[in-house]
Chains A and B, each alone.
Chain A
Amino acid sequence: MINSFPKLLNATLITLKLLSASLILGLFIGLGFAILRMNNNKLINKFAYGYSYIFRGTPLLVQIFIIYFGLGQIEYLRTTFLWVVLKEPYWCAIIAFSLNTGAYTSEILRSAFQTIKPGYLEAGRSLGIPSKIIFTKIQIPIAIKQSLPAYGNEIILMLKGTSLASTVTLMDLTGVAKYIISTTFKPVEVFIVAGGIYLFMTFIIHNVIKYLEKKYGFQT
């Protein structure tokens, strides 16, 4: 149990790398699609809705497998520079996670933007504030406040989602835990250590979100 601890800690680093990379990319994707969702053009709106529906309606495992095993099948892709990225399981996992969390994030952000009272925007406009500043100084801070609790949940779901990277040969925390279990046949001990590390990360994320909620806890 103690011997396996350093190995698992090393693997935690990969888990954290996967998590942070996909959260950052996912946030941009989510923001992009949230803006498309609020577009008045029906076609653009439908497209953004379809994106989030497909990625939220299918398991993350299918998405990783399509990207890692499936895309390599397209001959054309193998000739482009994209192949450098797509042949690495690490990047495939990050792409799949980002697209997945992007879909959930877009829903969270959309509902956050939609709950902003129109009065605030009208007040801003009637004071003659340019619409860019209304967006960055009024809409964004309120949207952050509204979406923090749901986004915190999404971060924790994504942390758990990164465990699927082990199915495409990546040695993340779950991958190493599985390897140790299958070589030592001590499932309970390894589960306690690996699960403990995951719980510790969940605990920290939970508290950071709580702190941010307090910081952005202005009255609206």
Chain B
Amino acid sequence: MELLYFGDKGWGDELFFATLMTIAVSITAMIIGFLFAALFTPLKLSNNKFLNSIGNAYTTVIRGVPELLVIYLFFFGGSGAIMFVASIFGYNDYIEINAFLTGSFSIGIISGAYSTEVFRGALQSIDKGQFEAAKVLGFNKYIYFFKIILPQMLRLAIPNLSNVWQITLKDTSLISVTGLVEIMRQSYIAAGSTRDPLFFYSFAAVLYLMLTFLSMQLLNRLETKYSKGY
């Protein structure tokens, strides 16, 4: 237990901040994922064959390729791509992107593919009459989407989104390979310097269990709030 003391003696404070980092990366990745979903869900539902195939390609490729491979692509390829764009604008120095951004971006792209599928499913299961009625009543586009379609969609999507959250939270353990100090990386460092891997990795497992348990409690509450009848 001494190993978990806060301060210089133990790893308590380091692991605490690592846990906060995991939460921060998961939330950022989830938000980036929503942005991707907002972009690709309309494409997947579009009648245009070309746009449709772009949407399908995104979800198929990301969901069929291991997360670790996607992370390596952005970790090794990310700064190269940004430097290429920068060189177009005449900036030729070396640019290093921070591990937090690469990490949340790569996890965000993965989580976005799952969110896209969830939103697509939710939109498709809304009764067609709702769309037609809203159009017939002549609501403007803002009310049409934000007041009529979105609340109904969220209600259907939230249970599945909490699954996406769980997947995203667990996927963040993979970005420890890029050197970002989250729970896994911190446990790896602690295990290396104390030669007690069994304790630290088991403790990491407990931290993840705690995070999944607590977030499930919160999400269940959200789910009951949104599943009230309309």
Given A174-B68, A178-B72, A198-B66, is A69 in contact with B201 using a C-beta cutoff of 8 Å? yes
Q: Please determine whether A177 and B177 come into contact, CB atoms closer than 8 angstroms.
A: no
B83 CB to nearest A CB, Å: 12
Q: Please determine whether B202 and A187 come into contact, CB atoms closer than 8 angstroms.
A: no
Q: Please determine whether B67 and A59 come into contact, CB atoms closer than 8 angstroms.
A: no
In the complex, which residue of chain B has the Cβ closest to the Cβ of A181?
B76
Which chain A residues in 153-191 approach chain B with CB under 8 Å? 156, 159-164, 166-167, 174, 177-178, 181-182, 185, 187-188, 191
A214 CB to nearest B CB, Å: 21
User: B87-95, B119-127, B129-137, B208-216: which one contacts chain A?
Assistant: B208-216
Chain B CB within 10 A, most for which of A62, A162, A202: A62
In the complex, which residue of chain B has the Cβ closest to the Cβ of A175?
B68
Q: Please determine whether A70 and B202 come into contact, CB atoms closer than 8 angstroms.
A: yes
- Asked whether B10 is an interface residue with its Cβ less than 8 Å from the other chain, the reply is no
Question: Cβ of A159: which chain B residues have Cβ within 8 Å of it?
Answer: 66
In the complex, which residue of chain A has the Cβ closest to the Cβ of B192?
A69
Q: Please determine whether B69 and A174 come into contact, CB atoms closer than 8 angstroms.
A: yes
In the complex, which residue of chain A has the Cβ closest to the Cβ of B68?
A163
> CA separation between A166 and B72, bound complex, in Å?
12
Question: Cβ of A167: which chain B residues have Cβ within 8 Å of it?
Answer: 68, 177
Q: Which residues of A contact B (CB under 8 A)?
A: 53-54, 57-63, 65-66, 69-74, 156, 159-164, 166-167, 174, 177-178, 181-182, 185, 187-188, 191, 194-195, 198-199, 202-203
Q: Which residues of B contact A (CB under 8 A)?
A: 60-61, 63-69, 72-73, 76-77, 80, 166, 170-171, 173-174, 176-177, 184, 187-188, 191, 195-199, 201-202, 204-205, 208-209, 212-213
